[in-house]
């Protein structure tokens, strides 16, 4: 949905559910940030 090199032009508003923020590591594994 978003990329760490993109400028922020807005944000998502979540009413219900969960959000997972992660970054792809150099070894190809997901690094969960939030």
1-34: per-residue pLDDT in tens? 667 777 777 777 889 988 888 888 889 898 888 8
Nearest 10 degrees: Cα torsion 3, 18, 30, 7: 10
Whether the CB-CB separation of 34 and 21 falls below 8 Å is answered with yes
Judge residue 7's burial from the number of C-beta atoms within 10 Å of its C-beta, 0-12 exposed, 13-18 middle, 19 or more buried: exposed
Confidence at residue 16, expressed as pLDDT on a 0 to 100 scale: 92
What per-residue confidence (pLDDT) applies to 9? 72
Say if pTM beats, i.e. exceeds, 0.75.
Answer: no
Q: How is the chain split into domains, by residue range?
A: 1-34
1: which residues sit within 8 A by CB, 6+ positions away? 12
Radius of gyration over every alpha carbon of the chain, rounded to an integer in angstroms: 12
């Amino acid at each position: 949905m978003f990329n760490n090199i993109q400028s922020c032009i807005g944000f998502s508003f979540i009413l219900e559910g969960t959000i997972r923020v992660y970054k792809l590591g150099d070894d190809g594994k997901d690094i969960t940030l939030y």
